[in-house]
Each structure stands twice: as structure tokens, then as C-alpha cells.
Amino acid sequence: MESPILKTLYIVRHGQTELNKLGIVQGRGRDTDLNDEGRRQASQFFDAYQKVPFDKIYISKLKRTQQSIQQFIDLGIPFEKLSGLDELAWGVLEGQPSTPANRAAFLKLIRNWLAGKLDTKFEGGESPNEVKERQLEALKTIMSHPEEKNVLICMHGRAMRLFMCVLLNKPLTEMETFPHQNLVLYKVTWDGSKYEIVDFNNAQHLR
């Protein structure tokens, strides 16, 4: 007999911002707005999922997440901001132009993480292990409401990769196995004992 689904999490990345478009790292320290393309993506996602009976919405403290799902909030669905859902802080690299040197530094840091050096970070930034700690706090809050059966979560690219590892109990070194683009969906169910991805990196609503 199959276990009953106790909760379904619809986890999306925010829509496109101008810094996304330019390939500039924004992170936790850059509170940017969606651009025209990002607002279009938000509308496409709303059109595709507005019939889902969401009980609650959880977003990060950064406005690009709220802007991405504002149309759901406008339906009267309650929402809560959790700093645990914020993007990883990239420190000194945030907002810097996408130069060969900056890209090389970024790739070197990612390689360190994938090699298991999960405490490494840029000056003024956060490590994957630090992000995991605050994500566990956010998850505790989200899962402490059994009455919320369908939950919409809007967060950020790198944070989302880490969050998927946290949910599936995978080492953070597997973060790159979770691709994403702006306003892509991961749908995850919880049956009381395990999380399972039932919709992986779904971008059909953006076509």
C-alpha cells in the first residue's frame, strides 16, 4: 500500500532580473527587481498553476521572490518571509562585472565545494554548510504546519540546489545535479518519512 502524501512542496526559483540577464552574481546582498522577462515568466507560472489550492506561500526576504509569485498572494493566499530561503551570499563577488577573473574565481569556488570543501566561501560571503543550517530552520517552520497540504516556495538558484540536497538527504557536493533556470519548478512530496521529487526542473509553463 502506498504511503499517503501528507504535503506537497512546489519549489520555484524567482524570475529573471537584469543581473541574471547580464550574468552578474547577485546573491543575498543584492535586493534586485524582476525585469520585463522575469515579470512575463511570473505571469506564465501563475497562468499554469493558479488552480492549485495552495494553503501557504513561503518566500525569501528578497523582493525578487515576492514579485515572482505576487499574483498568488493577490488571490489572498497567506505568505511568510523566511530568511532561511535567501540566496547564498557571494560576498565580494556580488554585483561585480562578469570578467574572466571573476568567472574563474567563481568556478574555482564551485569546484572546491564539489570536492567537499563545503566551508569555503568568498570574503563577506557564506559557505554551503552555513546556508544549510538556515535552510534547516526554514524547513522546520514550513513542516511544522501539517494543515498546509500544498505549499508554494519561491527561492533562489544556488540556494535551491542546496535545498534539494537537504530535502533528499544527499551530500551538498551533489548540488550540481539539480539544474535550474529562472522560474523553473521542482515539485516534491512528503509522505511522513521521505521527500520525493515528482516533477524535476519543470519549465513547460515557460514555453
Distance of CA 154 to the CA centre of its chain: 6
Phi and psi (nearest 5°) for 43? -65, -40
Whether pTM exceeds 0.95: yes
Backbone angles phi, psi at 103, to 5 degrees: -65, -40
CA 79-82-87 angle, to 5 degrees, is 120
- pLDDT tens string 173-188: 999 999 999 999 999 9
pLDDT (tens digit per residue) in 63-116: 999 999 999 999 999 999 999 999 999 999 999 988 999 999 999 999 999 999
